[in-house]
Amino acid sequence: MERTLAILKPDCLRKNLIGAVIKQIEESGFKIISMKLVRLTKAEAEGFYEVHRGRPFFEDLTVFMSSGACVPIVLEKENAVADFRKLIGATDPAEADEGTVRKLYADSKGENIVHGSDSVENGKIEIAYFFPGSELARMTA
């Protein structure tokens, strides 16, 4: 089984869409391994998105991700990373396929409801950022 990280972003919570998005995730065959409600500081958001430092959108992204609570979720499924990326759709909701999470709920490329790991390797790194090994082990035991 493969794991990936999803994050329901602050706009998802502000719009009261947690249940709708989780329902779509579960109906797509993903198993929720762990999830929690967190409020990132600006520094924590910068740490998580360190790979994007220096890109034009980095500042706006980290300000947005620290603007309210979010819900990181560890998901498990065969081909979890690719399947989740397909489920959420393109970063820009205007370019996302019909029925995807972003097409249904996102307002813009910058506030696009959900994060999904872009590779198996990054999924492991991102999961560890929010769920240290011992914490995740307790949840899956």
pLDDT, tens only, 17-41 = 999 999 999 999 999 999 999 999 9
∠ Cα 108 69 141 (to 5°): 115
Is 115 among the catalytic positions? yes
**Which fold, 2-38+70-140?**
Alpha-Beta Plaits (3.30.70)
User: Catalytic pick from 35, 114, 115, 123?
Assistant: 115
Amino acid letter, residue 33? I
Residue 58 to residue 69: CA distance in whole angstroms: 19
pLDDT tens per residue across span 92-136:
999 999 999 999 999 999 999 999 999 999 999 999 999 987 666
Classify residue 138 by burial, with Cβ atoms within 10 Å: 0-12, 13-18, 19+.
exposed
Residue 30 to residue 42: CA distance in whole angstroms: 30
- Indicate whether 139 pLDDT > 70: no
pTM: 0.92
Is there a contact between 36 and 136 (Cβ–Cβ < 8 Å)?
Answer: no
Q: H or E element: which one contains 84?
A: helix 80-88
Average pLDDT, the chain: 94
Confidence category of residue 61, pLDDT binned at 50, 70, 90: very high
The domain segmentation of the chain, as residue ranges, is 2-38+70-140
